[in-house]
Structure 1
Amino acid sequence: MSHDVTTPSALPGIDMPGTRAYPPRLSEFTQHFWNGLRQGIWQTSCCQDCKRQTFPPKPLCPHCWSPNVGWNALSSRGLLYSWTRIHAAPAVFTAEAPYAVGIVDLDTGIRVACRLIDVPGQAFIPDMPMEMLVLQYEDGPLFAARPCLPA
């Protein structure tokens, strides 16, 4: 498997206090994704045979079943497909409630479910432009999205 990545621009990051409430499970394969995200690299697996990206990253292409996968940059921008604000959170997330989660359709066609970060003065509206970012916790990164900030 190749670990070549199209050169992406680094995602913006936000320093977060404490540790992740529910850290991701790591495997030998996904470690590459999480190490990259820690550095702001937004990437996923891409089949070297059918050229299709998959998210979350997978060691086997779910489209053509090829084990010949590498790494490609993901689009850092997209449109908000849907969202909700969680007030009655599962026990592990109680301290963070209320918080927003949503689905973002990235410009390259990948659909991502993630935490949404509020921007003062902007309400979440379906089809609004979004940008991906990295939440840098003390024990590692998580990805999230927020409304595109004015230039």
Structure 2
Amino acid sequence: MTLATVAIDADRAYPPRLSDFTQTFWSALGQGRWQTSCCKACGKQTFPPKPVCPHCWSTEIEWTELSPRGTLYSWTRIHAAPAVFAAESPYACGIVDLDNGIRLACRLVERDDRPLAVGKPVEMVVLQYRDGPLFAARPAD
């Protein structure tokens, strides 16, 4: 499944640090693929992706697809943003429980026809900035 993309005509305010390991994640995200690391030994996914399983300490890791849908656990609107994000404020951030059990924090993209609400379904999207992708969640269709 390919994630929907939201084009943003700006550079990322705080681009991620890339490593040989995380490059796989960010390259895939730029193509709309939502994936993470999964331990071959115990079968557990982790997010963010990790080269060592935090559950059993195995280094036998493979890339697997993440659930693109989940539920909004909590959210807030940030008005007094750190200087690096000041131009983007106010903006919403939240905690999402993906359908496969992963809980993550991310930016939220609002939709005029679907307000943000705790307990409501969300879907992951790619925020495609000029200099690369970031991920976010928005109220589901």
TM-score range for the pair, normalised by the shorter chain length:
over 0.9
1:33: which partner in 2? 25
Query: Match of 2:77, SS?
Result: strand
Residue 82 of structure 2 is aligned to residue 99 of structure 1: no
- CA deviations on 1:67-88 (whole Å, 9 max, x unpaired) are 0000000000000000000000
Query: Match of 1:34, SS?
Result: helix
1:135: which partner in 2? 127
| Range with greater deviation from structure 2 (120-129 or 65-74) | 120-129
Give unmatched runs, 5+ long, in structure 2.
Answer: none
2:37: which partner in 1? 45
TM superposition score normalised by structure 1: 0.92
User: Which of 84, 108, 113 in structure 1 is aligned with 2:76?
Assistant: 84
Give unmatched runs, 5+ long, in structure 1.
Answer: 1-8
| TM superposition shift of 1:125 | 1.2
Cα distance in 2 for residues equivalent to 1:123 and 1:131: 13
Residue 123 of structure 2 is aligned to residue 121 of structure 1: no
Cα distance in 1 for residues equivalent to 2:118 and 2:7: 27
TM superposition score normalised by structure 2: 0.99
Query: Match of 2:55, SS?
Result: coil
